[in-house]
Amino acid sequence: MTSILMWLRRRPKGALGAPPALVTPPRLAPALVLLILAIGVFLPTLGVSLILVLGFEATARRFLPGVSRWLGLTPRAAPV
């Protein structure tokens, strides 16, 4: 419970407090992508949840800019 209180006190106003997205997303190794796909196929609940999260992020980035900024999905400019 105290960790939640500390997070609420220390997070930036109007944001989740997650690190901002990278300007250039990292390139995933093909073996890692295949491993994620294989695990998603063999564990269908995990696969469905991964698809739902990716779909939500894509929707938030495209149609909900406020939510996207709050979640840290949009890159922010460096502070001056």
Considering only CA atoms, give the Rg of the chain.
16
Asked if residues 11 and 17 have their Cβ atoms less than 8 Å apart, the reply is yes
The residue-averaged pLDDT of 22-48 equals 89
pLDDT on residue 15: 75
Q: What is the pLDDT of residues 51-60, one digit of tens each?
A: 999 998 888 8
The pTM of this model reads 0.61
**Eight-state DSSP code of residue 69:** H
Q: pLDDT class for 77, splitting at 50, 70, 90? A: low
Reply yes or no on whether the pLDDT at 67 is more than 80.
yes
